Chain A
Amino acid sequence: DIQMTQSPSSLSASVGDRVTITCRASQGISNSLAWYQQKPGKAPKLLLYAASRLESGVPSRFSGSGSGTDYTLTISSLQPEDFATYYCQQYYSTPETFGQGTKVEIK
């Protein structure tokens, strides 16, 4: 199985901050990576797929980059509605696996 390691596991930030979350795969996944946002009591919401493609309707302050084993989610200017937990997911091979999550909290 491909292991996905996210960092940090949590962070505190202020509105307007630039936030970066990293996801590392245990082997190359050829950009087969998605990012999700989850708020308490809700299902995850797709933000990006294919490492850098923005899902329809998702604000452009969200962006993704990376290749091989290392990928990044960036929020360019954190908004109040962005405080949530973020997960990466590889779909390069089954079982599809998720990172452990990064909780973004208000500073």
Chain B
Amino acid sequence: DSGVTQTPKHLITATGQRVTLRCSPRSGDLSVYWYQQSLDQGLQFLIQYYNGEERAKGNILERFSAQQFPDLHSELNLSSLELGDSALYFCASSVDGRALGEQYFGPGTRLTVT
């Protein structure tokens, strides 16, 4: 158990809908990272927050947004969903805000868009 929690574990929704994925980092970690992993693909970095502020943005679509709250949990919002958005979405956390240290991953949310 990495100490990172994600909810929900599974999500099935229709095209055009909007969903919110939630992540709670390990105790003491200030950075939260979001990744997308499509079937048999590598981890694609989406966005990083550090202590409530956006630190880095990767290949995140404009339809997606995220935020980190004062209690350090984070939410990833996905809107106008398309079939191609079906994937595993992972949240990771680290103490380091500069993406130089190891990251600890949650169990993921499996999103299926039908």
The answer to whether A and B assemble together is no
Chain A interface residues toward B at CB < 8 A: none
